[in-house]
Structure 1
């Protein structure tokens, strides 16, 4: 199911919720409103196991960098929270978003430009942060962020350096797999900040989508008149 179809279904239900004499919330094809739920249930253990994928380096990963024949340059390095590493001679450089092979080639290129003749560089992941949340949409730094300790929706968005000036904070969708079922919930950051309901917990493998231009085009009229969402709207994706 596309993000646009998902948001369209949630927004349709939100219109009903915003009316004082609205009937019971109803879904749309492919979207079933879970009326008895006011928050997404936590994932089961099986839902927290990521499918195999080509790994890219992320913040807080630990790397082993080996420069063949030069022990002084070979070392263990931890990627900092901003996704950068620092190496002797070449200084700081971006590592986040690159594969180990790509980063090794970048290090070799920098060393070879001025300092080492034909350097042979190997980069390996020695400690990975496999528990991550994906934050997309109208945030300043979209990406994958490690889930360390207790993470909430507000904290997850803060990890992405907050929302952009164009963000619609009343359209924040969290997608989650629970017992092999795909579920989603619509949140209003303004209502959370005002204490109308609790800042929901975020788990590994969640996808957080902050309303962006495509969502605004579909729901511009709804967003302009809708009140604060007094409770999260939870749906099961069929």
Structure 2
């Protein structure tokens, strides 16, 4: 008799849990999230945004500064022995180049490195050297993306990079990510700073997408509630599984 009561009590509990999940599902279904909120953002009613012009594209470019362990490709036009040379910056920020000797390039832009090499080559009696320096690989200008992302790691920063771009480099947020708990750490003149961002609000245009810089650390927080929810889902009876899955999707 006791076994029968436990059996039916368990069934009632399952039904009750299913009803509770259904109520939660109804509460979560509040319609689509609104776009906008950032005072500098214009939300259009149409489906097509205006095309950017040349100034818009060029304004996104930021100078790149050569750092230790970066790899450069250097060409001197018309001189085969000095062309297509792969050079790596050493730990102290210097390179060695024929006729130019040891050159300190740390903190210089590629264009500034071109000018420095051209000056030194002229001193070595190379007539009107035309030097081209291209970045082959960067190991100094990187950003760290950690926490609940699909691929944590170090990613190069070449040009302008925003927070959403940094998350995209890490292949997006993870299953248990907490989008309102994204912290960016930055060191400026020896002082460490941290700022908290709501990635979900940024994605929906409520706030501007902030620019991030080399040496920043982006930490995406973990939703313990979502992880616990997933654990409960693993032990939930088949009776309520479809409802639980639906709620889990809506809580993202």
TM-score by length of 1: 0.38
Structure number with the bigger relative contact order (C-alpha 8 A, sep ≥ 6) is: 1
Greater radius of gyration (CA): 2
Higher helix share: 2
TM-score by length of 2: 0.36
